[in-house]
Amino acid sequence: AQSVTQLGSHVSVSEGALVLLRCNYSSSVPPYLFWYVQYPNQGLQLLLKYTSAATLVKGINGFEAEFKKSETSFHLTKPSAHMSDAAEYFCAVIRTDSWGKLQFGAGTQVVVTP
């Protein structure tokens, strides 16, 4: 069985401050891990993905995430928040023995304040 847990359903950050979104997974086999962003009334857009290569993954819009097997975590960070980062963020996992089935966390809503 596998699951994805995102800590914090809502996060408020000041413009220019660090963005940190937490994601922990449980999987009996090595997973592939993803972060997606969803803007209001839009579909999901891939931010970055971990596919068993480098453990520090860089994505679009200045985001990056680090895979830590010992902590079963894949936290998303951005050094300096921008107003345009306000959105909902989803962590997701694919088992390596699956057919690309994405399992999502519950999501974290990010609010950026001036």
Residues at the site binding other proteins, with contacts judged by CB under 8 A: 4, 9, 32, 36, 41-46, 49, 51, 90, 92, 94, 96-107
- Bridge partners (DSSP) of residue 36 are 46, 90
What is the dihedral sign for C-alpha 110, 76, 74, 45? positive
**Closest distance between other proteins and the C-beta of residue 18, in Å?**
24
Q: Of 62 and 104, which has the nearer Cβ to other proteins? A: 104
Joined together, the tokens standing for residue 6 give 């995102």
Q: Of 17 and 44, which has the nearer Cβ to other proteins? A: 44
How far apart (Å, rounded) are the C-alpha atoms in residues 28 and 51? 16
Q: Of 13 and 93, which has the nearer Cβ to other proteins? A: 93
